[in-house]
Copies of this chain bind each other. A is one copy, B any other.
């Protein structure tokens, strides 16, 4: 514990600084020196923890994506029904996007920008598996439309990113009512109408 003395605190401070600065200014408008300053370390110290700037942002991306999925699935159990499971996951994701604003903004920027390299992008996607499994089950049970997972994601999950964004730009306020409306819209777009 004393041997590999690389302080996890410094590493984390660097990651959090990266998120905040990239959110405010964009990746390439964020100098390493500024990240170092906000994390209260020397610029040179960054290179003890990360190979280079690209590596720093890649790793930050993977880490934030992990937090996102960990949060999303924390209360979900595979024993839940499809409806219940979807609602549980959806509401956790909504929670995350509306409360962990910095993380959510960061992901939105990474996902719509060439700033992350392909391997990291792929790495980040992995963790959504439980949702895909749930949808597979739902399709098998005739509850979820038998369409591409990407379509399901586009219509049931991705809109939350847009709502998070416009809320953050001050255009709307997402309260409990809007959230319920959003959930109904999400659910009705992927469930099979009987």
A114 lies within 8 A of chain B by Cβ:
yes
A130 lies within 8 A of chain B by Cβ:
no
Q: Is the CB of B115 within 8 A of A112?
A: no
Nearest CB of B to A138, in Å: 14
Q: Which of A162-194 contact B (CB under 8 A)?
A: 162-163, 165-166, 169, 171-172, 178, 181-182, 185-186, 188-190, 193
A79 lies within 8 A of chain B by Cβ:
no
Q: Within 8 Å CB of A158, what residues of B?
A: 158-159, 162
Q: Is the CB of B26 within 8 A of A114?
A: yes
Nearest CB of B to A75, in Å: 24
Interface residues on A, range: 35 or more
How far, in angstroms, from A25 to B181 measured CA to CA in the complex?
Answer: 38
Identify which of A10-18, A85-93, A148-156 touches chain B. A148-156
How far, in angstroms, from A58 to B189 measured CA to CA in the complex?
Answer: 35
Which one of A23, A113, A190 has the greatest number of beta carbons of chain B within 10 Å?
Answer: A113
Q: Within 8 Å CB of A171, what residues of B?
A: 150
Q: Within 8 Å CB of A66, what residues of B?
A: none
A-B contact pairs, 7 of them (CB 8 A): A23-B114, A27-B28, A121-B169, A150-B162, A151-B163, A155-B155, A185-B189
